[in-house]
Amino acid sequence: MKEPKISPPREHKVARRSFLKGAALGSVALALPSRDADASIWDAFFQKHFREMNDKELKKVLKRLEQEYAEKYGVDIDISANKPLSGVLFGYGLDLSRCIGCRRCVYACVGENNQSRDPQIQWITVLRFKKGDKWVNDLENADKYYNPDKVPEEGYFYMPTQCQQCENPPCVSACPTQATWKEDDGIIVVDYNWCIGCRYCMAACPYGARHFNWTGPGIPKDEINTKTHYLGNRPRYHGIVEKCTFCIQRTRNTPGRYPACVEICPVGARKFGNMLDPKSEIRYCIENKRIFRLKEDLNTYPKFFYFFAT
């Protein structure tokens, strides 16, 4: 299939990424902002790494981004940047015996996390398997495009996949600019202003969990979720990579709140919580169900646990 053409850098964020990408790929064609560029363009160009910014610097960056989004989308977008809470390590459970393959989780995730509608980006993929098949690790050849009149279908079962929030994430070690990393609460995040779009992380991820923005995201203005997190659902840019963050804007900003996919699931197939809390539902599942993790042989140690309730 012919890959969509990427147009030349247009925005100052892109100028900085082009510069870094040139450096990462050993190119000498480095794109600096012009000498008479606006001050905010230089501010963006020299933005520090998220983890190195102090509170004042971070506040300034968030303000600049909110202004940029307001100009671009014509709506006020609130960007939070809450840090991980101590004593929290998030984990996720999925009960395969309950999932009916309805894809409500997919669409709830799209809305909550400002995923592009056109072209479509979906962080959750629901796979369909025939009962009795030797299955789950062959994610690439599984049926993602099933489209029956009614679900669930006789003789099939469904397995939703998304970022497995690996404890030992190969995507992180593949990134040449440290634009992706593991936070203390276990969520693997991407800084969209540091990502250079080289897609090494996509090649390294064994779960197909990362998605590339071939164009800028197409989101109708009246459907934008304006409550966002810097490392989560704020609108992304052309030429960067994105993925599930366990709805960081919900689960970190409002402790105890579920990700959108957990909240929407009509059959309670999805479980989520703090694995360090012995009373949490996720901990109960891990301790009492017959759990397994995808591609365990790769030693990625996903914090995403599948099980059969019965």
Does the protein bind ligand SF4 through residue 300 (CB under 6 A)?
A: yes
Contacting ligand SF4 (CB under 6 A), which of 20, 77, 175, 209?
Answer: 209
Cα(first)–Cα(last) distance of the chain, in Å? Answer: 43
Angle of CA points 300, 304, 182, to nearest 5°: 55
DSSP secondary structure, 20-46, as one string: HHHHHTT-S---PPPTT--HHHHHHHT
Nearer to ligand SF4, 55 or 149 (CB): 149
**Burial grade of 98 (CB within 10 A; 0-12, 13-18, 19 or more):** middle
Beta strands 78-80 and 227-229, pairing class? parallel
Does the protein bind ligand SF4 through residue 164 (CB under 6 A)?
A: yes
Nearer to ligand SF4, 15 or 259 (CB): 259
Does the protein bind ligand SF4 through residue 205 (CB under 6 A)?
A: yes
Does the protein bind ligand SF4 through residue 100 (CB under 6 A)?
A: yes
* Span from 8-16, 20-28, 165-173, 221-229 in contact with ligand SF4 (CB under 6 A): 165-173
Contacting ligand SF4 (CB under 6 A), which of 103, 144, 199, 289?
Answer: 103
What amino acid occupies position 283?
R
Does the protein bind ligand SF4 through residue 24 (CB under 6 A)?
A: no
Does the protein bind ligand SF4 through residue 166 (CB under 6 A)?
A: yes
* Ramachandran class of 207: left when φ > 0, alpha when ψ lies in -120 to 50, beta otherwise: alpha
Half-sphere exposure of 43 (CA within 13 A, CB side): 13
CA 177 to chain centre: 18
* Span from 66-74, 114-122, 169-177, 222-230 in contact with ligand SF4 (CB under 6 A): 169-177
Nearer to ligand SF4, 22 or 206 (CB): 206
Angle of CA points 39, 42, 46, to nearest 5°: 140
Does the protein bind ligand SF4 through residue 240 (CB under 6 A)?
A: no
Residue 158 CB, shortest distance to ligand SF4, in Å, is: 6
Residue 270 CB, shortest distance to ligand SF4, in Å, is: 5
* Of 75, 58, 84, residue with least CA distance to 225: 75
Residue 186 CB, shortest distance to ligand SF4, in Å, is: 10
Nearer to ligand SF4, 31 or 262 (CB): 262
Does the protein bind ligand SF4 through residue 306 (CB under 6 A)?
A: no
Nearer to ligand SF4, 231 or 265 (CB): 265
Q: How many other CB atoms are there within 10 angstroms of residue 32's CB atom?
A: 12
Q: How many other CB atoms are there within 10 angstroms of residue 222's CB atom?
A: 6
Residue 163 CB, shortest distance to ligand SF4, in Å, is: 3
* Of 174, 143, 140, residue with least CA distance to 156: 143
Nearer to ligand SF4, 245 or 280 (CB): 245
Is residue 119 reached through a cis peptide bond, with omega within 30 degrees of 0 on the bond before it? yes
Nearer to ligand SF4, 61 or 264 (CB): 264
Residues engaged in binding ligand SF4 (CB under 6 A):
99-105, 126, 158, 160, 163-166, 169-171, 188, 205, 207, 209-210, 243, 264-265, 267, 269-270, 300
